[in-house]
Structure 1
Amino acid sequence: MYCFALNHKTPTPALLKLGITLLFSLSLIAPAALADTHSNLDYPLDPEYDLPLDELRSFAEVYERIKQAYVHDVEDRELLENAIKGMLSGLDPHSAYLEPEAFRDLRESTQGEFGGLGIEIGIEEGYIKVISPIDDTPASRAGLLPHDLIIRINDTPTRDMSVDKAMELMRGEPGSSIKLTIQRETLNQPLKVELERGLIRITSVKEKMLEPGFGYLRISQFQNRSGEEVQKGLERLAKENEGPLEGLILDLRNNPGGVLQAAADVVDVFLDSGLIVYTHGRLPDTQMRFEANPGDSLDGVPLVVLINGGSASASEIVAGALQDHQRALIMGTASFGKGSVQTVLPLNNDRALKMTTALYYTPSGRSIQAEGIQPDIEVVNARITPLETQRTTKEADLDGHINNDSKPSNNKKITARLDTAEDYPLNEALNLLRGLVIFKSRH
């Protein structure tokens, strides 16, 4: 049951002036960027812009009503900050007003170290949604999956909770515990998970040899030095292989994105020339183009890129550019579909605005916003159970068979250090890569 008390009192001139001054001042704020981030932007004030006086009067009236009639006294600062949060959060899921802790967390995450669970989140139908857990973090070890909905954080329901508030609740001192209640599509009942917060040190690039000639390189998040780390990872693979690679799998699954420049740097490692990505927004400073420098570090050897529904933003820039240039085959399932660029503007009070200022486009002009990158070859995750087979008789088993006196084949025996039952898409990518290498060697 609700009880309403109406009071039609006209706002005082002082409060009306306050509301107009506030909104006018906010219109002067200029963003500075994430791909998520990029550079400083200059927002000139349009001299012909007409202030919405009716809306400003409404704002001033609401402000006064709250100050006079709300059940508790509310500080001016709290009301004004809530107004700013409302303006940003009402634009799209990725725009936000960052208070000091959230701003610090954002800066730490792009540098590769922060305290918490290691999880990238968004909003879906009013609930906090897992975009992807970051590799080797409490979230990934607890088995959280992309598309999980977090419906409670400890005892706090997340319905209509902002992303920033959820991040604030989930971060904390390493070693402290937290309980999440998860709604998963494949489960009939909510799943309760208890995690221990850790100091999240993200190594954004990892590599290993799958078998002689075939390397594997995993990027878990795009940080400032990811391009440099990819280059060093390829050099370590070549050293372990004792020569150039014959093929490479680039794994971007469950990579939530990161820094725009880092995504362009990674693509540049594999392209010899051409456009990587371009952005388009309302202001001149949001029109950016990233071009590849001469030199493909793999010298054109076959490349397969793995993506899935947790591959977002900067991951989609990489996959889209390599796909458009026909430099790689994209395998897996459709990506997340975040095709917008957020600009981060530091304010003078240890706060910042994170605001969507542009959309990005692949070299062919595709916008993947709400669409995602479609793989060239769709492979869904699965578990393989090998069938037992009876041993059949071969020629060599027959009494009196003729021996083969030819010299032994020089072909290397291939034994992949890979558990196909655990990672079916990776196994399929390796099979495809073998075929591409064989096909290339014969033509």
Structure 2
Amino acid sequence: MLHLSRLTSLALTIALVIGAPLAFAAQPAPAVAPAGTAATSKAPLPLEELRTFAEVMDRIKAAYVEPVDDKTLLENAIKGMLSNLDPHSAYLGPEDFTELQESTSGEFGGLGIEVGAEDGFIKVVSPIDDTPASKAGIQAGDFIVKINGQPTRGQTMTEAVDKMRGKIGQKITLTLVRDGGTPFDVTLARAVIQVKSVKAQLLETGYAYIRITQFQVKTGEEVSKALAKLRKDNGKKLNGIILDLRNNPGGVLQAAVEVVDHFITKGLIVYTKGRIANSELRFSATGKDESEAVPMVVLINGGSASASEIVAGALQDQKRAVVMGTTSFGKGSVQTVLPLNNDRALKITTALYFTPNGRSIQAQGIVPDIEVRKAKITNEAEGDYFKEADLQGHLSNGNGGADKPTGSGAKPKAMPQDDDYQLAQALSLLKGLSITSGR
């Protein structure tokens, strides 16, 4: 049941984590780690600390201003035990566990944002494409300072997530701070989030664009189908491919491995190191490169996390692609979901993953080969230049080509690269690589 968390996020209803039982396994693995695999010997129980725990529980029950039942106290104790390990470990109640299982199917209810915690605040890691959050203009790096008017400062991630959950169609107001500016409100309605993980099109003849929004169970299969359709639409071998992983918060480990496998013929893709059985894994290419080894550029940014970093790091280390954009998020840990009784589960960090060259991305991220920051594109109006073909009595083209006077030619169709500076730069680089490689 190995998977990569997308951070402690709003998935589930607001995109909480990645993976479902059917998708967790990178290889067949037991649902729960066998006893004795985490340590060679068990330390004796800390009796003094257990006595303190029991005493605290009794004091709360006796003195707290309102009655608190044993079940609530024990569940809160479990949540605290996990939340203090790292930002990605958590106790999943029945509802959370069910939503976690649904998240990798690509359909769940919520806002469509991935969040993490930073300095006591809730920070947007990335909005998911075509969701209420992305349509409302929420951006990676925004801080959520209030939820329906209530400050988030000092709240746990679980508390903030619970407040952002709700019925489909209900409206919620988030107060955001962007780049240290003045707080502003965004009101949006919760919706059923249907996420298509792969989008693809030809930017120009010969140049393919593939965007992966997150890594779901079938993402590898979807990329394979996209490559086949792009080749068919182009009518011949492609000249180059842009793989866009910007604002992709991650997903299922196996899906990331499958995606890389579509672009390389041999070599290591990723490996993991941990303490429990089956946490030390190695994944290598199977030799089924479907990209025909054409030049390739991978786009990343600060919203590219987890499985996205596995893909970018592998293609970078294998010298298969030029990585362009800005440094990625830096989540290099693997979470395992351990089912408990009563439809509950633990999601705990069990391993770190490493790129083929042995790099740990944890808290550092993937540094692009070429840094290109986000910028606005402003197209200047082209002046009505007087051309040779406008001159009366001009000579015709010696090779029989048609004259091209001022204003001739159809207006080009609007394309994604027209107002996406990073994508435009990636396309320009790809064209250069294609020319120099003789394609």
Unaligned runs of 5+ in 1: 1-31
Does 1:439 pair with 2:436?
yes
Does 1:142 pair with 2:136?
yes
Task: Using structure 2 for the length normalisation, give the TM-score.
Answer: 0.88
Aligned to 1:122, the other structure's residue is in SS state strand
Cα distance between partner residues in 2 of 1:419 and 1:289: 37
**CA offset at residue 395 of structure 1?**
4.8
Aligned to 2:232, the other structure's residue is in SS state helix
Question: In the alignment, residue 111 of structure 2 is paired with which amino acid?
Answer: L
* 1:176 corresponds to which of 170, 173, 188: 170
**CA offset at residue 415 of structure 1?**
5.8
Q: Specify the alignment match of 2:405 in structure 1.
A: none
Question: In the alignment, residue 292 of structure 1 is paired with which amino acid?
Answer: A
Cα distance between partner residues in 2 of 1:268 and 1:377: 23
Q: Specify the alignment match of 1:7 in structure 2.
A: none
Cα distance between partner residues in 2 of 1:91 and 1:202: 30
Aligned to 1:84, the other structure's residue is in SS state helix
Cα distance between partner residues in 1 of 2:261 and 2:219: 12
Does 1:385 pair with 2:378?
yes
* 2:3 corresponds to which of 14, 17, 34: 34
Do the aligned residues in 1 keep the contact of 2:174 with 2:186 (CA within 8 Å)? yes
Q: Specify the alignment match of 2:200 in structure 1.
A: 207
Q: Structure 2 vs 1, CA of residues 414 and 245 (structure 1 numbering), >3 Å: closer, same or farther?
A: farther
* 2:68 corresponds to which of 71, 74, 78: 74
Cα distance between partner residues in 1 of 2:93 and 2:113: 20
Aligned runs of 1:118-267 on 2, under 5 Å?
A: 118-187=112-181, 189-267=182-260
State the superposition RMSD in angstroms: 2.1
Q: Specify the alignment match of 1:107 in structure 2.
A: 101
Cα distance between partner residues in 1 of 2:342 and 2:154: 27
Q: Deviations over 1:189-240 (max 9, x none)?
A: 2111110111111110111111111111110010011000100111111121
Task: Using structure 1 for the length normalisation, give the TM-score.
Answer: 0.87
Do the aligned residues in 2 keep the contact of 1:99 with 1:352 (CA within 8 Å)? yes
Question: In the alignment, residue 423 of structure 2 is paired with which amino acid?
Answer: L
Cα distance between partner residues in 1 of 2:414 and 2:136: 25
**CA offset at residue 392 of structure 1?**
4.6
Unaligned runs of 5+ in 2: 6-18, 403-409
Question: In the alignment, residue 197 of structure 1 is paired with which amino acid?
Answer: R
**CA offset at residue 51 of structure 1?**
2.0
Q: Structure 2 vs 1, CA of residues 348 and 414 (structure 1 numbering), >3 Å: closer, same or farther?
A: farther
* 1:426 corresponds to which of 423, 427, 432: 423
Q: Structure 2 vs 1, CA of residues 419 and 348 (structure 1 numbering), >3 Å: closer, same or farther?
A: closer
Identity rate, percent: 58
Q: Specify the alignment match of 2:353 in structure 1.
A: 360
Q: Deviations over 1:275-309 (max 9, x none)?
A: 11000012242101111111210110011111100
**CA offset at residue 163 of structure 1?**
2.7
Do the aligned residues in 1 keep the contact of 2:332 with 2:362 (CA within 8 Å)? yes
Q: Specify the alignment match of 1:21 in structure 2.
A: none
Q: Deviations over 1:245-281 (max 9, x none)?
A: 2111111000000111111111111111111100001
Do the aligned residues in 2 keep the contact of 1:211 with 1:414 (CA within 8 Å)? no
Q: Specify the alignment match of 2:280 in structure 1.
A: 287
**CA offset at residue 116 of structure 1?**
0.9
Does 1:53 pair with 2:52?
no
Do the aligned residues in 2 keep the contact of 1:131 with 1:147 (CA within 8 Å)? yes
